[in-house]
Structure 1
């Protein structure tokens, strides 16, 4: 027999007999230890899917929340093969508000794509995901992380890993087929600063409506700072994302990451009479607002160049506080259907974007599932 043909045949046989590397695709959010608020649901009311992973006591330290509208129960969904661009993501459950189709990774800006993870204590929260064997997959994670705990936070860590048969979280190890990566699938082999990576690939930012310059997605500047976005610097490695300090544009005004109880009260203008759209922040109480007596124990200030509405327009944010004139404040108080007093809740909500690569899952401690653990760092 021709030696070349024999060699080729042996090589082909070896390829056929060699083990094929496995990989994974997410099939669903594992809700074994999740309790979802019962239906029926009322429009524009907020509901919870509480996560019970507090150890032997089965204590809940938070969960996923959603406001019933274009976001629906259980508040989180998995998208495989987006129907426009073929991408994969972990995002909010619901429908695209513009065309009522099932939410997709590629849905347009301001279509409520981020799922909302909230913490009610300073303890870790674990999200588990079931997987099936498939080709290597990359998932974009679109979420908010909300501090509803009793204290302010200095920061957080996000870890990839697994939940073993005893319910314990096991941290992922190097080259085990589970990793943080860029949108192109480049794994972070060495510790990397988020500031050196594109925001699309890795970011932790507070609402642009509060801090930041206008851009293609945000036509208006931020209320507190019209030039600089408030964010967390982060250090990312293959299996861990660790916060590394909050922007001074946030901390100079409010200190560490505000919890829900410490949120300041603002006055919001309902400029279009539509409950489904965001209202315009006009002023805030520099102090504590008493909702019973309707009084602020400090000043009412605005970060706009003038208080009130002139010719149907609010003043432009200027980044400097000035006291609201008594007459303007009295006018707002006299129109409770137009000017609403409420907490500035986005000061407690951090928008997170990052990517996860699911590679060879055959060596995972739990080959059919993985987990993400979120640990707050209390003040």
Structure 2
């Protein structure tokens, strides 16, 4: 049905390899079909196990940014799903981890409050950037990013979330079956509890949530209720005029329509906890928590993040009554009509490594950009 679209754009495809070098390790059938817009690290080590990392692009300029940072005693995961452009998500990827490390080194530990402070510092930094550039680049005020970060340190998992990316943990129950537990709550106006929260916070604004194009949206514009950036929905000084109709508000905001306050969660890792899945909403549009957990549990570790992405892509093609191999021929930009940018990190927890000093690469890996550098993951230990 959609093969004409694939044929139309396939002749226009530019070489993609310079944007996304791919790991071509041989794995089994569901992961072996190449996608020119797919990037992955099939299996790497962290201080208490291994991780798998994959990203696929859909937008003309990829808006998902993601990172894994490994250290001698900890691992950091970040999923930053941008909207309105890539500027906010890139800024978060550049700065949030560094803010957290600065706070952690000053205090010799990591805590929920420190994770919250790192998110706040990142929000302040981006709004300052918007302020400095507003005169020459006003649309910076309309860029924003969801933000999902996790840190495992000294046997405890810390998670902060703004927006609708999702963290899921897979644990074995008493019957030795894998059970998925969602660790984060989506800040998305499609959820009744979020709409009620917004109406409670904005009792005088009848337009705080509006059904538009079949979807509930904050101010009729955006689905997420919490983010980094989106300055025009937070501060009247960044209001955009009618020359930007997509982001123009007929009445100035009296108080921030969106929040940058993260939901914070911590959990002591338990012996039956086997792995974590961190992913942008592009994955969860095509599978449930339990389906994803069973895929991870029932398949080899190597390439498992890629397997999750490929499963989502196959499902996206099926929903469009399209053959997957035809969808693969569709270039970035047009590909967005079929699926979103998708970022996935799977963190395996090997309990036998807890408390042991093992040699692991201390690396900072940025998804899709394929940037690998030293981790700078230093926390002063008691």
Name the structure, 1 or 2, with higher relative contact order (CA <8 Å, separation 6+): 2
TM score, norm. by length of structure 2: 0.24
Greater per-residue strand proportion? 1
Q: Which has the larger radius of gyration?
A: 1
TM score, norm. by length of structure 1: 0.24
